[in-house]
Amino acid sequence: MNQVKKTIKLLRRSPYQALAAALAMSLTFFVATIFVVLVIGGQIVLNYIEQRPQVIAFFKDDTSDQKISEIIDQVKSTGLVTNVKYVTKEEALAIYRERNKEDPLLLESVSADFLPASVDISVKKAQDIGQITQVVKSRSEVDKVITPENLVEQLVKWTKALRLGGIIFVSTLLSISFLIIIMVIGMRIAIRRDEISIMSLVGATKWYIAKPFFIEGALYGILGASLSIFLVYVILLFYSPNIQNFLGPIQIFPITPLFFVYLWAGEALVAAFVGIAGATIALFRYLKVR
CB nearer to another protein: give 93 or 199. Answer: 199
Binding piece for another protein, criterion CB under 8 A, among 48-56, 170-178, 180-188, 196-204? 196-204
Applying CB under 8 A, the span of 137-145, 148-156, 180-188, 191-199 interacting with another protein comes to 191-199
User: Is residue 12 a contact residue for another protein (CB under 8 A)?
Assistant: no
Q: Which stretch binds another protein (CB under 8 A): 179-187, 200-208, 230-238, 260-268?
A: 200-208
187 binds another protein (CB under 8 A): no
Nearer to another protein, 198 or 269 (CB): 198
- Write out the chain in H/E/C secondary structure: CHHHHHHHHHHHHCHHHHHHHHHHHHHHHHHHHHHHHHHHHHHHHHHHHHHCCCEEEEECCCCCHHHHHHHHHHHHCCCCEEEEEEECHHHHHHHHHHHCCCCHHHHCCCCHHHCCCEEEEEECCHHHHHHHHHHHHCCCCEEEEECCHHHHHHHHHHHHHHHHHHHHHHHHHHHHHHHHHHHHHHHHHHHCHHHHHHHHHCCCCHHHHHHHHHHHHHHHHHHHHHHHHHHHHHHHHHHHHHHHHHHCCCCCCCCCHHHHHHHHHHHHHHHHHHHHHHHHHHHHHHCCCC
- C-beta of residue 136 within 8 angstroms of C-beta of residue 70: no
Considering the rule CB under 8 A, would residue 200 count as an interface residue with another protein?
Answer: yes
1 binds another protein (CB under 8 A): no
Between 3 and 74, name the residue whose CB sits nearer to another protein: 3
8 is a site residue for another protein (CB under 8 A) = no
Nearer to another protein by Cβ, of 176 and 198: the residue is 198
Contact window for another protein (CB under 8 A) among 29-37, 92-100, 170-178, 190-198: 190-198
Contacts (CB under 8 A) with another protein, residues 201-260: 201-205, 208
Q: Which of 62, 98, 102, 194 binds another protein (CB under 8 A)?
A: 194
15 binds another protein (CB under 8 A): no
103 lies in the site for another protein, by CB under 8 A = no
Query: Total number of residues binding another protein (CB under 8 A)?
Result: 15
**Angle 211-214-220 from CA coordinates, rounded to 5°:** 140
Q: Does 82 bind another protein (CB under 8 A)?
A: no
- Spatial separation of the C-alpha atoms in residues 240 and 233, rounded to whole Å: 10
Using the rule CB under 8 A, is 90 a contact of another protein?
A: no
Q: What residues make contact with another protein under the rule CB under 8 A?
A: 2, 13, 194-195, 197-205, 208, 290
